[in-house]
Structure 1
Amino acid sequence: MKKYISPIEDIISEASKGNMFILVDAEDRENEGDLVIPAEDANADIINFMAKNGRGLICLALNEDKVENLGLSLMSSNNKSRHETAFTVSIEAREGVTTGISAHDRALTIATAISGNTKSTDIVTPGHVFPIKARPGGVLVRAGHTEAAVDIAKLAGKNPSGVICEIMNDDGTMARLPELIEVAKKFNLKIGTIADLISYRINNDHIITRVQSEKIESEFGGEWDCIVYKNDLDKAEHIALVKGRINSNDVIPVRVHSVNIFEDLISINPNRKNLISKSMDLISDLDSGIIILVRDTNDDALSNLLKKYSGNNLKQDNKLKEYGVGAQILIDLGVKKMSLISDTNAMPINLEGYDLEISDRQPLEDNN
């Protein structure tokens, strides 16, 4: 399947040319896909194409500023949808439309909504176009098609808005990657992934700031430099514990740890208890190294984790963001080569864009 996925740079190039493309979450045959195009290029022909060949709901992805400028309220003040998609009330252009549902009318409504000259009085509700508010920070905060459409439009130098439409099969089921590939071949469309977009933005956007540094004394490993970093996008703070002198020419032992209150403090999972203290003891024995403690800052992080442990097994897919934050902290600390302390071989982001190299790996559990 990988050979049918275009680099995100090619997707951005397509957007800059005003071309439509398909966007999926990742290179996974179970993924659903959306037709996506910068909103400023969504003319009547494009809307008609989406209605005929996408068959899903045609939506307008807008940034927060535009939603506020148009005075649009959220469709629900208590969003309980599976992915917390931030639909606003539906809209229509006040002037120039008839029923509002035709391809021409919907294209006109979209053009009116995204115009820099539009006032809230130029739009009426309800209507036949469905705006969705993208989260500030884009895919680095929420890995959704809404955020991806806005991010790609911005990266392409376009109006920061996009039109998206889910792709369905002829029988009404959702098209998965094998079917999406056939759609792409039929209409000469490129396929990109949100995962690649996240990696691209992590590699190209500087998102962390060092805010405080103090020496601390711990039961585990003695003295450490404790450095607090802030994520400029979601304002969350993360910690780097540094032992010894960090020389960019050396291979530095590194542990990137996603803080989990249930495992790290309550020991709900006996197989993963005391990982932080074990890491600190290991690095102390090695005389130098870094532990990065990354927090999950999603609003529902704790409740989702609790559901997972109670048997609901909800998928938590924050690794891209966590490793991206960790990588930028390592760069700030002067790391070039690392010995990664981990019991898995997973590495969800491409470190080459950071000029970081994993020279070797060492398991944590085998050292205890």
Structure 2
Amino acid sequence: MPLNTIEELLSDFRQGKIVILMDDEDRENEGDLIMASSLARSEDINFMVTFGRGLMCQTMTREHCEQLNLPLMVNESGALHGTKFTISIDGAPAHGVTTGISAMDRAATIQVAARADAKPSDIVQPGHIFPLMAEPGGVLTRAGHTEAGCDLARLAGLEPTAVIVEILNEDGTMARRPDLEKFAAQHGLKIGTIADLIQYRMTNEKTVERAGECEVTNDYGCFRMYAYRDTIDGNMHLALVMGEIDPDTPALVRVHMADFLCDITGCRRPDCGWPLSDVLRRIANEGAGVVLILRRDEGGEDLIERIQRYQKQDEGVQITHREGGANLRTHGLGAQILVDLGVRRMRVLSAPKKMSGISGFGLEVVEYVT
């Protein structure tokens, strides 16, 4: 069946209707029932729980979570896609919520928590609704249902919070696209994709902007250097381009997370990833390519902690290595920069990995080069 446009989904969202949104096949490859939190009724909640069968969550912006004093469930998420669960909630008894589990109670909790003037005393913890904290920048920084829910509500002119429930088949397995299309037809629901939502936003919005450019020459040759400013957190990121970029020709691309210790000292610890010098050499040998150097938040205390961890490893202490590579937010940032540079098809300098949501930016990985 043909998918609906984002405009059609937004029209239903404004009317308080439930829609289905699918993510990429290169990500979770699932579909969620989604509706605006501020318009959720008990009958809507009952439908989503009965027919969706997944976990009921409420997406919120970081600012709204802070307004409600909602702490993250864990400081460091071990979830595959970095979903940020906060402590679960119920509406406070003053709002008529009793056990918290009925469809009526859950609808009341969701509506109370969605109010622009909601305060911590309006909710109690723990409860039966699971808030999810969205990344600033929405689907342009993380291509997940959490961000999509907030984006759809905001674009519909409503409070930027949504109710989401994963759709499972009757046998308990995850519903994939053919199942989701049948589900949408059976229940008369609009269905679209996060990739289309990304493209919809990309026509009007970006979360990075080009700040300057110049020629640079280093030990590996002559590059064009571009500086980009992250409009969400103010961080600066760099792109080094050798040769000409042709949208029709796959470009050799490497996304490098800036690492003070490893880049400056040439350290080859397991958490250093590919040395920047090796990446530049590969690009130079190819004669053309793009290196994105994305800055990550790492303060002085973080550096000291790493050095102390290295010291313990040198002394024979077994310490679990924590990956320091690109996360889902950096995928969105990097994708926007690559598109701005004119890249469309890529040969990625990396071991094969999932690049979540990049199809929504009009990017295609044709090969991984190791």
The Cα offsets for residues 257-294 of structure 1, whole Å up to 9 and x where unpaired, read as 233479x987x999xx96644545766xxxxx984525
TM-score using structure 2 length:
0.72
1:259 match: secondary structure: strand
Structure 1 residues 82, 227: CA separation in 2 closer, same or farther (over 3 Å shift)?
closer
The Cα offsets for residues 298-346 of structure 1, whole Å up to 9 and x where unpaired, read as 99xx95588xxxxxxx998976653322223x3xxxx7xx8978589x9
Residue 334 (structure 2) aligns with: 322
Residue 359 (structure 2) aligns with: 348
Shift of 1:226: 2.7
Shift of 1:147: 1.0
Shift of 1:48: 0.8
Shift of 1:171: 2.1
Unpaired runs of at least 5, structure 2? 299-320, 350-354
Question: Which AA in structure 2 matches 1:20?
Answer: I
Residue 254 (structure 2) aligns with: 258
Structure 1 residues 341, 53: CA separation in 2 closer, same or farther (over 3 Å shift)?
closer
Residue 39 (structure 1) aligns with: 37
Residue 116 (structure 2) aligns with: 116
Question: Which AA in structure 2 matches 1:155?
Answer: L
Rounded to whole Å, the distance in 1 between the matches of 2:278 and 2:26 is 34
Structure 1 residues 180, 145: CA separation in 2 closer, same or farther (over 3 Å shift)?
same
Count of residues paired in the alignment = 327
Asked if 1 retains the 8 angstrom alpha-carbon contact of 2:42 and 2:106, the reply is yes
Residue 83 (structure 1) aligns with: 81
Asked if 2 retains the 8 angstrom alpha-carbon contact of 1:27 and 1:193, the reply is no
Shift of 1:60: 0.9
Alpha carbon RMSD of aligned pairs, Å? 4.3
| Range 6-15 or range 188-197, more displaced | 6-15
Rounded to whole Å, the distance in 1 between the matches of 2:296 and 2:154 is 25
Residue 5 (structure 2) aligns with: 7
Question: Which AA in structure 1 matches 2:181?
Answer: I
Asked if 1 retains the 8 angstrom alpha-carbon contact of 2:141 and 2:331, the reply is no
Question: Which AA in structure 1 matches 2:15?
Answer: K
> In the alignment, is residue 227 of structure 1 matched against residue 244 of structure 2?
no
**Equivalent position to 1:17, from 12, 15, 18:** 15
Rounded to whole Å, the distance in 2 between the matches of 1:341 and 1:165 is 34
Unpaired runs of at least 5, structure 1? 284-288, 307-313, 353-362
| Range 8-17 or range 66-75, more displaced | 8-17
Asked if 1 retains the 8 angstrom alpha-carbon contact of 2:136 and 2:232, the reply is yes
Asked if 1 retains the 8 angstrom alpha-carbon contact of 2:237 and 2:295, the reply is no
Residue 200 (structure 2) aligns with: 200
Shift of 1:14: 2.5
Residue pairs, 1:232-243, within 5 angstroms: 232-241=231-240
Question: Which AA in structure 2 matches 1:108?
Answer: A
Rounded to whole Å, the distance in 2 between the matches of 1:28 and 1:339 is 17
Percent of aligned pairs with the same residue?
Answer: 37
Rounded to whole Å, the distance in 2 between the matches of 1:179 and 1:339 is 31
Asked if 1 retains the 8 angstrom alpha-carbon contact of 2:84 and 2:133, the reply is yes
Structure 1 residues 326, 107: CA separation in 2 closer, same or farther (over 3 Å shift)?
same
2:163 match: secondary structure: strand
The Cα offsets for residues 148-203 of structure 1, whole Å up to 9 and x where unpaired, read as 10011111111100000111222222222222111101111122222222233233
The Cα offsets for residues 16-49 of structure 1, whole Å up to 9 and x where unpaired, read as 3322111121257982211000111211110011
Residue 187 (structure 1) aligns with: 187
TM-score using structure 1 length:
0.72
Question: Which AA in structure 2 matches 1:92?
Answer: D
Rounded to whole Å, the distance in 2 between the matches of 1:196 and 1:251 is 20
